[in-house]
Amino acid sequence: MNSKERVIASLERRKIDRVPVDLVCGGPNSSLEKLILHYGVKNPQELLLKMNIDIRYVYPPYIGPNGRAPPHEEWGVPTEFGGTEYMKCDYEAEGGIAGTYSDILGSRPLKNCTTIKELENFLWPKADWFNFDFLKEYCKQYQNFAVMLGGWSPILSRVFELFGIETTLTNFYRRPNLIRETIRRITNYYYELYDTALSIAGDKIQIAGFGDDFATQQDIMINPEMWRDFCKKPLARLFSLGKKHNVYVFLHACGAVRKIIPDLVEIGLDILFPIQPSARGMDPVELKTEFGDRLAFWGGIDDQTVLPFGTPEDVRQYTRERIKILGSGGGYILSSSHNLLKHFPLENILAMYEEAMKITSPQ
């Protein structure tokens, strides 16, 4: 059973030889360099092979206007698909990352915008800023792996980045039509981008990856009814690309998203990531019991307590438990519940993957 067959069989709740695994590890604070050094490989692609990772991510390279995307490389691709940089908000002029939704840090290009007319002055990104022909060629090398397009396409987070979070929350009440129009433009951009990419790549892509941050550790960042009012229909439009192109729909939504999971399932979500176990309402037993027949789970290995602070045996036991719970009957791809950071003990990271490779499917 190759990686593509393993992932698809798990998503279809069929018998598999072992649980599929992914590596969530990238950026300047990640464990990537530590893992590359440990395995004695030359680059991330060799690392994925060495670790028997079943997933590959693809992004059409950026070829748009100069100055809209700072130099960046993620998994060997020049720029990250759909990333914040194309909205030119989280990055300062010199390319530094503010790393926050604060109104006073970073570049908030719409902070002082009060009318829909003013939105026309912002240079909104376009799908033709990307090289889709290269994407098709890029996918060919991954024919034995499960291939995901994208992985991050924020609607709510993007609005926070464009206006600043305080201004956004005020505008939800004072200028709701301004927020709706901003969301409409963001959604149009993502829809065109994903639709074009999936049309060109054809059956070489199995998963359309979307992503947003809706929640904290404790709850949804905005009232669930407000989320449904502003975000549900735009997200449903993006998710409709799954049926249009016969691919699975994946969503990164970390934190305590329990209150909106029924909505996400209703509008066509197939896979939820990262199943953050320390967040309120994200108990894996409850999630699997209530949604396991309709929703696949991706992630689940706690990277807030177990991976950074546990022993290797703690990690092994935790991994066995999660495979037993979330992998029962299929519908599970194992990974850490967020990015593997450089301060995580290497032996703990290795323990997670070694244990996963030893356990046959719980089906």
Domains and CATH numbers, the chain: 3-358 (3.20.20.210)
Over residues 327-356, mean pLDDT: 96
Which region among 120-124, 132-136, 260-264, 340-344 has the lowest average model confidence (pLDDT)? 132-136
Band (pLDDT 50/70/90 cuts) for residue 108 is: confident
Question: Which residues, including other chains, have CB under 8 Å from residue 246's CB and lie 6 or more apart?
Answer: 203
Instruction: Provide the percentage of residues in the chain whose pLDDT is more than 70.
Output: 89
CA gap 277, 280 in Å, rounded: 8
pLDDT value at residue 80: 41
Which residue's structure tokens are 């990015």? Answer: 339
pLDDT value at residue 137: 81
The β-bridge relationship of strands 271-273 and 296-301 is parallel
**56: exposed, middle or buried (C-beta count within 10 Å: 0-12, 13-18, 19+)?**
buried
Band (pLDDT 50/70/90 cuts) for residue 64 is: confident
Which region among 113-127, 235-249, 262-276 has the lowest average model confidence (pLDDT)? 113-127
Band (pLDDT 50/70/90 cuts) for residue 69 is: low
DSSP label at residue 77: B
User: Omega into 284 within 30° of 0, i.e. cis?
Assistant: no
Give 300-329 pLDDT, tens digit per residue.
999 999 999 999 999 999 999 999 999 999
The pTM of the full predicted model, rounded to 2 decimals, is 0.93
CB 277 within 8 A of CB 300: yes
Give 165-222 pLDDT, tens digit per residue.
999 999 999 999 999 999 999 999 999 999 999 999 999 999 999 999 999 999 999 9
- For residue 237, is pLDDT > 90? yes
Which residue's structure tokens are 């509008």? Answer: 267
- For residue 95, is pLDDT > 70? no
pLDDT value at residue 76: 42
Exposure b/e, 263-293, CB count within 10 A at least 16 = b:
bbeebebbbbbbbbbebbebebeebbeebbe
Q: How many residues does the chain have?
A: 363
Q: Kindly report the average pLDDT of the chain as a whole number.
A: 90
Angle at 246 between CA 244 and CA 248, to 5 degrees: 110
Band (pLDDT 50/70/90 cuts) for residue 27 is: confident
> How many alpha carbons fall within 13 Å on the CB side of residue 290?
12
Kindly compute the dihedral angle of the four CA atoms of residues 230, 231, 232, 238, in this order, to the nearest 10 degrees.
Answer: 130
Distance, C-alpha 241 to centroid of its chain: 16
pLDDT value at residue 73: 45
